[in-house]
């Protein structure tokens, strides 16, 4: 008889429990000493998505690259300050004319199956990447290579037709084992489910849809990693993942701004976990279709940027967990120009600029009118990204105040691409780009990339920017490159082809038993092999 009442009561008590949990925010958490480095334990990482393949060459999703990154090495890699350093290559030389790069490979590196790593593996990786039969997304940079050769077992040389600055970075590509793949169809290789690499972790098992398990490589060339096992758990729901973390069955995940700011400040939580915060390599922008008459006038774009309060968006959407973007680079990196004067929030200036552009009268609804036409446009964004939708709503409200009527349309990703972006059929859109470590942004901004399915879909054409882009990718001289990218940012600041909105923060959280984590511009994972758990705190 009572059954009908039990459920609501349990629910009620649960709600109360949840509500009580957010209190107690006074004392500081207990600080743990560094302890002694020790081998052992396992790091359990949570991920929303499952990797698709363990051959990085064929993968285009981030979970695949994240896990494969622990199994494979490239010739070069980025260090904690985003500088290129040798990985499988001990050193390299660029010829004076910038056309040839010679890599001197590390000796004594072994594949996980015991075979020796040589220049043959590098040559094979290059050849299989440019092979027309390989369905890879990463052939472009390697196609610039005119000639590749392996003159000795531990020397590898590539020659380019013209100097190509992003070339060096492209050799950060995971090197594949030639002795296991040569003469075989890479797309049907068992290596995609059971990889063999040279990296700090050895593949152990993959339980589809549940987890991947890696074990430490005792013969790793940089030394045996302290943590014995790396477990990559697939938990598609963020709330579930957060509960797993609190229950102690997960050691590391990325927090949402709400979780970071509001749900993880209790002493209890800070006793058990360490939160980290650093700018993510991505930015969100409001892009204008420059072919559209509404946005062809620079003053209008400047006015729109002036009317948008970026700080307010960061507070409202990210709860402050981000910073203002004024260009396409991450603040603090070498290509980022700190002297840019952005259009700050100033609705009066916005109105004035619009008046200069001819938008003077208003209709009875308070909307600006020019030549009988009201100033209205639609912002498109993709479904499933609530941050972008909220950003659009805040912008909508701000623009309304200066007399611009904005509509918002949320569209499924595939339709947005095929029906709107590829056809140039949009007025404005809110999207994001990831910021590559190499500052070359030729594909997104060069005037030759404005065709259908190309990435300069807003139709930005500027001969100065074109010149800087070409110059910037064709020299290895850092100072020269810097001048090019500084120049581009100055033009962007004036032209406002996008209203650059914000760079969000990455918010990882790690169980406090892990020590040796040293936050750096590149984040926290770069020195994973040096993380450790003192013997007395080991769990697994």
Residues 118-147 close enough to bind other proteins by CB under 8 A: 132-141, 143
Least separation in angstroms between residue 309's CB and other proteins is 27
Q: Is 202 in the site for other proteins (CB under 8 A)?
A: no
Q: Are 502 and 283 spatial neighbours (Cβ–Cβ below 8 Å)? A: yes
Least separation in angstroms between residue 133's CB and other proteins is 7
- In angstroms, how far is the first alpha carbon of the chain from the final one? 46
- Closest CB to other proteins among 220 and 244? 244
Single out the segment in contact with other proteins by CB under 8 A; choices: 215-223, 230-238, 300-308, 370-378: 230-238
Q: Is 16 in the site for other proteins (CB under 8 A)?
A: no
Q: Of the candidates 113, 237, 361, 477, which one interacts with other proteins according to CB under 8 A?
A: 237
299 φ, ψ (degrees, to nearest 5): -65, -35
Q: Are 325 and 500 spatial neighbours (Cβ–Cβ below 8 Å)? A: yes
Binding to other proteins in span 44-73, by CB under 8 A: 44, 52-53, 58-61, 64
71 φ, ψ (degrees, to nearest 5): -100, -35
Burial class, 247, CB count within 10 angstroms (exposed 0-12 / middle 13-18 / buried 19+) = exposed
- Closest CB to other proteins among 366 and 384? 384
Least separation in angstroms between residue 98's CB and other proteins is 21
Least separation in angstroms between residue 35's CB and other proteins is 22
156 Cβ partners below 8 Å, 6+ apart? Answer: 75, 89, 102, 103, 105, 119, 122, 123, 148, 149, 150
Between the alpha carbon of residue 197 and those of residues 87, 121, 404, the distances in Å are 13, 11, 56
Strand runs (DSSP E) across 375-466, as ranges? 376-382, 405-411, 428-434
Count the site residues for other proteins by CB under 8 A. 71
- Closest CB to other proteins among 4 and 114? 4
Name the residue with tokens 């009527």.
405
Query: Kind of pairing, strands 508-511 and 252-254?
Result: antiparallel
Q: Is 26 in the site for other proteins (CB under 8 A)?
A: no
Q: Is 208 in the site for other proteins (CB under 8 A)?
A: yes
277 Cβ partners below 8 Å, 6+ apart? Answer: 260, 321, 505, 506, 507
Least separation in angstroms between residue 195's CB and other proteins is 12
Q: Is 278 in the site for other proteins (CB under 8 A)?
A: no
Q: Of the candidates 85, 222, 361, 443, which one interacts with other proteins according to CB under 8 A?
A: 443
Least separation in angstroms between residue 346's CB and other proteins is 32
Q: Are 127 and 139 spatial neighbours (Cβ–Cβ below 8 Å)? A: no
Binding to other proteins in span 386-425, by CB under 8 A: 412-415, 417-419
Helices 386-401 and 310-318, packing angle to 10 deg: 140
Least separation in angstroms between residue 439's CB and other proteins is 12
Least separation in angstroms between residue 498's CB and other proteins is 14
Least separation in angstroms between residue 377's CB and other proteins is 22
Edge-first strand listing for the sheet containing 89-94: 89-94, 100-105, 155-160, 145-152
Query: 301-313 burial, b if ≥16 CB within 10 A, otherwise e?
Result: bbbbbbbbbbeeb
Binding to other proteins in span 463-522, by CB under 8 A: none
Q: Is 20 in the site for other proteins (CB under 8 A)?
A: no
Q: Is 334 in the site for other proteins (CB under 8 A)?
A: no
Q: Is 448 in the site for other proteins (CB under 8 A)?
A: no
Q: Is 533 in the site for other proteins (CB under 8 A)?
A: no
Q: Of the candidates 153, 249, 362, 448, which one interacts with other proteins according to CB under 8 A?
A: 249
Q: Is 444 in the site for other proteins (CB under 8 A)?
A: yes
Instruction: Single out the residue of 105, 140, 137, 142 nearest to residue 127, CA to CA.
Output: 142
Least separation in angstroms between residue 236's CB and other proteins is 4
Single out the segment in contact with other proteins by CB under 8 A; choices: 4-12, 26-34, 300-308, 399-407: 4-12
Single out the segment in contact with other proteins by CB under 8 A; choices: 8-16, 76-84, 155-163, 341-349: 8-16
Q: What's the length of the chain?
A: 540
Beta bridge partners of 46: 233
Q: Is 194 in the site for other proteins (CB under 8 A)?
A: no
Q: Of the candidates 75, 128, 176, 235, which one interacts with other proteins according to CB under 8 A?
A: 235
């Amino acid at each position: 008889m009572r059954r009908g009442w039990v459920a609501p009561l349990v629910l009620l008590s649960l709600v109360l429990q949840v509500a009580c949990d957010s209190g107690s925010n006074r004392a500081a958490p207990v600080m743990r000493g560094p302890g002694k480095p020790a081998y052992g334990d396992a790091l359990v990482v949570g991920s929303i998505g499952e990797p698709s393949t363990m051959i990085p060459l064929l993968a285009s999703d981030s979970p695949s690259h994240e896990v494969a990154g622990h199994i494979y090495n490239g010739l070069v890699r980025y260090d904690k300050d985003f500088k290129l350093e040798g990985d499988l290559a001990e050193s390299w030389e660029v010829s004076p004319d910038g056309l040839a790069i010679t890599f001197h490979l590390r000796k004594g590196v072994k594949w996980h199956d015991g075979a020796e790593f040589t220049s043959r593996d590098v040559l094979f990786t290059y050849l299989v990447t440019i092979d027309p039969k390989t369905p890879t997304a990463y052939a472009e940079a390697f196609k610039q290579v005119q000639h590749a050769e392996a003159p000795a077992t531990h020397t590898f040389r590539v020659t380019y037709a013209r100097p190509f600055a992003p070339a060096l970075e492209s050799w950060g590509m995971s090197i594949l084992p030639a002795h296991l793949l040569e003469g075989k169809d890479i797309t049907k290789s068992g290596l995609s489910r059971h990889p063999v690499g040279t990296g700090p972790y050895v593949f152990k098992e993959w339980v589809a849809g549940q987890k991947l398990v890696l074990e430490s490589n005792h013969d790793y060339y940089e030394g045996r990693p302290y943590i014995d096992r790396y477990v990559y758990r697939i938990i598609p729901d963020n709330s579930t993942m957060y509960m797993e973390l609190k229950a102690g069955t997960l050691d590391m995940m990325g927090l949402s701004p709400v979780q970071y700011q509001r749900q993880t400040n209790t002493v209890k939580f800070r006793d058990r976990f360490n939160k980290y915060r650093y700018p993510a390599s991505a930015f969100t922008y409001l892009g204008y279709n420059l072919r559209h008459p509404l946005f062809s006038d620079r003053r209008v774009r400047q006015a729109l940027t002036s009317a948008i309060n970026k700080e307010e968006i960061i507070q409202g959407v990210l709860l402050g967990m981000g910073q203002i973007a004024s260009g396409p680079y991450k603040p603090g990196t070498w290509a980022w120009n700190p002297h840019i004067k952005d259009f700050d929030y100033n609705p009066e200036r916005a109105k004035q600029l619009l008046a200069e552009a001819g938008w003077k009268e208003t209709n009875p609804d308070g909307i600006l009118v020019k030549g009988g036409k009201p100033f209205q446009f639609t912002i498109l964004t993709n479904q499933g990204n609530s941050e972008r939708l909220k950003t659009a709503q805040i912008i909508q409200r701000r623009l309304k105040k200066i007399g611009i009527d904005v509509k918002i349309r949320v569209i499924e990703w595939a339709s947005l691409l095929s029906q709107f972006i590829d056809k140039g059929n949009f007025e404005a859109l809110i999207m994001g780009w990831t910021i590559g470590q190499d500052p070359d942004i030729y594909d997104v901004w060069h005037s030759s990339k404005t065709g259908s399915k190309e990435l300069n879909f807003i139709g930005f054409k500027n001969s100065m920017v074109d010149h800087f882009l070409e110059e910037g990718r064709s020299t290895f001289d850092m100072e020269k490159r810097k001048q090019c990218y500084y120049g581009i940012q100055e033009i962007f600041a004036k032209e406002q082809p996008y209203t650059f909105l914000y760079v969000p923060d990455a918010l990882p959280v790690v169980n406090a038993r892990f020590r040796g984590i040293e936050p750096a511009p590149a984040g926290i994972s770069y020195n994973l092999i040096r993380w450790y758990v003192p013997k007395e705190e080991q769990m697994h």
